[in-house]
Chain A
Amino acid sequence: MRMKTALGATFGVIAMTAAAGAQQIDPSLKPYNAVSGVSGNLKSIGSDTLNNLMTLWAEGFKAKYPSVKIEIEGKGSSTAPPALINGTAQFGPMSRPMKSAEIDEFEKKFGYKPSAIRGAVDALAIFVHKDNPIKCLSLQQVDAVFSKTRKGGGDKDIATWGQVGATGDWADKPISLYGRNSASGTYGYFKEVALFNGDYKDSVKEQPGSSAVVQGVASDKFAIGYSGVGYKTADVRSVPLSATVGAECFNATSENAYSGDYPISRFLYVYVNVNPNQRLDPIRAEFIEYVYSRQGQEAVVKDGYFPITAKIAETDLKVNKLRN
């Protein structure tokens, strides 16, 4: 899995210790220090998975630079590339990497590629009702539950809880499916990794937001749904997942996401239009610095996602020539 190697390689060396419950932040991330002369407008259009996180970042940034005007709009990852291309937004948060078609279109207009910032790590969680007895699901089972094409290799369609191992009252109950709408990056990423690029069943109830998926699952006892782990509430439970049938199941925790053991973890991106031949204007440069700072990553934890490490921050800043 692409993501597994990417995440595993980056985090492999770094031992992260997480205290019970709360996330720890890489201590080598530097605290953010305000500089002078930063003002102007800051507009972000894109992913709704990242909507709250962008808002938290923006609030923190505004606390440092009170005269900065902020506008955050989040209607799905697919809205980010057009906004960047048309210049209606300076930042395009996306919960999936840009597709090559989107990058091409951007390059056609500007002559260079958009810069990607990896701002946070998310484990895409499979949520079930809190009373659901299911202990573990393999990706193939997830595929057979959500997909009508079953490209993951499941031989039979899964429609009842009994088929994934539930017993008693649960065995004959049909599985009710909740998912995201197609503008969402979560939809695209789940389709790519958990559905092996197959098609969703028509019975998936497509919700307009991650929180709506969780609320759907919370109020429907026999439901299953997917969304970012940050949206977990006390009414739902995230099911441990295994990459292949019969393999060990891993919980959607930060360690498992970093090590790549949890099969559907991903980076959350913020795309920026950075002209490699010009100096980046202070407001965008400082915002990017802020995202990679200790405070920025604290906001990530606050929103329920997993923070990135200092190493990723350094790499991204260097690759995008954001820091000299």
Chain B
Amino acid sequence: MTTELANNSGTVKLGRSTRFRRRTATDFAAEGEPFVWALGGALALGILMIVGFLALVIWNGIVTFIPKPIVVVTATNGDVFAGEPVRSEQFRPGPEVLAPLAPDARAAIAANGGLASRTLYRVGNYDLYGEDFRWIAAHDVKSIEAPTGLVLVERLEWGPFIGTIKSVELGDSAKEVAASTVGEIAAAHDRARERWQRLHRIERNDIGAVNYDLNQDRLRLRKIEIESGPASQAYTQAKQRFAEREANLKRDYERLSAMVAALRADDDKEVITFADVRGREKTISLSAVVRMYKANDLGLVGKIGVYLSRWWEFLSDEPREANTEGGVFPAIFGTFVMTLLLVVAVTPFGVITALYLREYAKQGRLVAVARISVNNLAGVPSIVYGVFGLGFFAYILGGTIDHLFYAERLPSPTFGSGGLLWSSLTLALLTVPVVIVATEEAVAAVPRSMREGSLACGASKWQTIRYVVLPRAMPGIMTGIILAMARGAGEVAPLMLVGVVKLAPELPLDGFFPYIHLERSFMHLGFHIYDVGFQSRNSEAGKPMVFVATLLLIVLIALMNASAIVVRNRLKRKFVGSQF
């Protein structure tokens, strides 16, 4: 083809060598070589960006929980503090910084081109210092040491404490800490934590159940009051019943409270006193210590232990201290359940629509318009769906449901504000075009001969669709669902309007009837990232947590997609096996 073109354009008349040169040039372009390179380059660039992004997130996410050494910094002005070095940077000190410096320090900075270096330390002890990070310039440092014996204490409140263990009080006797008591402290700490967890369980499960029953009874009474009026006999009887039950539940509550009080009294007896590097002391309950380790004495095994236990806490615990510490379990669970519900909602809706559009509807102008609308839906900004979800689902639909079925709870809304159900439906709406388009393509790809064969055997249209078309189109439909899931799980903007909140430790799934609470607000990993990164008090401390949460979100979505792909491949294999 290319030779012909070259010949036709009159190159034959030219000398042999010229012709040769021109022909190679023409060939190069005509063979599409530059385009291949450009396309390949674009692909490489795309992969590079994805790999770079993943590497950044994974690296930062992985190193966050590694225990770092603690150093004691003595400043030239006599100030002493201990902290974990976070990062260093070069800066150009202004004249007002340089003026009070010693001449040799000034000369050193001048020799370095006017640049000095400084390091950020995480000093912790927010309750004592009123700050948790501190910069210090290299020329202000007198000495840096890494003494053994310094502990980093992660606490339930106030963030980390950095210092030494001064004394422990177990039961009645106060003990100065000697080397021999280290194991004893660890054992006592384990016991205290266990007791604290038991306390937590009693409070949450047992007392929670009592309070739940009480609340249910109260609502039932209110319902009778609304239905038959406060003067009716039914209400008077119900009130009597309620009083009896309330008395019973109160007794249960008293009994459990006494148990809790006894555990708490034990808890209060065990305290531990820490001292920071300048000797200021802080006494806290032993059970309020989440984890403590001697940062500079840790061996490899110890480090791995701390690292893994931090990960475990992060994955399995509830958040503490306005989401900056503790774990993200409610957020993981919320993201997971919401995505599942999204799939449950989007699949039938999308598949049925696509089947009708492709198989039943008469292909005319109306269907074309419907198809264009569906495609346009995919281009609507997600926040618009959020506004729609809030206005239509939460306020109109939810408000009506509340008036019809939950009148006894008003004015506090049940379904009338954002919640898990409305979030999933909003996202289902957002992702339904993806499923429709994918299903239509998959259904269209089923050969006509197969349908005709089925019809010729006497199957009805629905039977043909059900037994011939759908199984063959299933892998394509699954691809659409996977795409929808991936899009939905990563979406945050509309969720902020329809049900995701900063703190909702209560899971949408629990032991109380009806077990799954679709009306509850929930936490979401994507929103958690936004919240920790841009809303927390100390953004410096939040930064590493952002990376960890991002890593987790990526892993979660990858896992969900992978399992969907496994299912799809199974289906494909099944189909291949049943082929003629």
- Chain A residues packing against B (C-beta within 8 Å): 21-23, 36-37, 39-41, 43, 48, 51-53, 55-56, 58-59, 62, 66-67, 69-75, 87-88, 90, 130-131, 133, 167-170, 207-212, 214-215, 218, 230-235, 301-304
Contacts and interface: CB of A to CB of B under 8 A. Distances in A.
Contacts of B502: 51, 55, 72-74
B505 A70 contact: yes
Residue from A41, A167, A230, A234 with most neighbouring chain B CB atoms (10 Å): A234
Contacts of A167: 95
Nearest to A132: B94
A234 B540 contact: yes
B535 A74 contact: yes
A71 B503 contact: yes
Contacts of B416: 88
A39 B209 CA distance: 11
A55 B250 contact: no
Interface in B41-70: none
Interface string B520-547: 1100000000000111111110100000
A131 B135 CA distance: 11
Nearest to B532: A211
B75 to A, nearest CB: 15
A211 B541 CA distance: 12
B417 A88 contact: yes
B439 to A, nearest CB: 36
Contacts of B28: none
5 contacts: A21-B131, A56-B321, A168-B94, A212-B534, A235-B540
Interface string B186-215: 000000000000001001100110111011
B204 A67 contact: yes
B93 to A, nearest CB: 8
B78 to A, nearest CB: 14
A236 B375 CA distance: 47
Contacts of B127: 22, 301-302
B537 A55 contact: no
A233 B535 contact: no
Interface of B: 91-96, 120, 126-131, 133-135, 157-158, 200, 203-204, 207-208, 210-212, 214-215, 250, 253-254, 257, 320-323, 410-413, 416-417, 496, 501-506, 520-521, 533-540, 542
Nearest to B121: A234
A47 to B, nearest CB: 11
A231 B131 CA distance: 11
A66 B321 contact: no
Given A43-B412, A71-B503, A87-B413, A56 B322 contact: yes
Nearest to A83: B417
A208 B534 contact: yes
B208 A67 contact: yes
Given A67-B212, A87-B413, A55 B94 contact: no
Contacts of B533: 211
A49 B133 CA distance: 21
Contacts of B128: 21-22
A40 B412 CA distance: 11
B501 A131 contact: no
A230 B210 CA distance: 39
A202 B131 CA distance: 34
A98 to B, nearest CB: 19
A58 B504 CA distance: 10
Contact of B158 (A55, A59, A302): A302
A131 B496 CA distance: 36
A211 B412 contact: no
Given A133-B94, A211-B534, 16 more contacts: A21-B131, A48-B535, A52-B537, A59-B322, A70-B506, A75-B496, A87-B413, A168-B94, A211-B539, A231-B537, A232-B131, A234-B120, A234-B131, A302-B127, A302-B157, A302-B321
A39 B94 contact: no
Given A74-B535, A234-B131, A87 B412 contact: yes
Contacts of A56: 321-322
B391 to A, nearest CB: 13
A90 B412 contact: yes
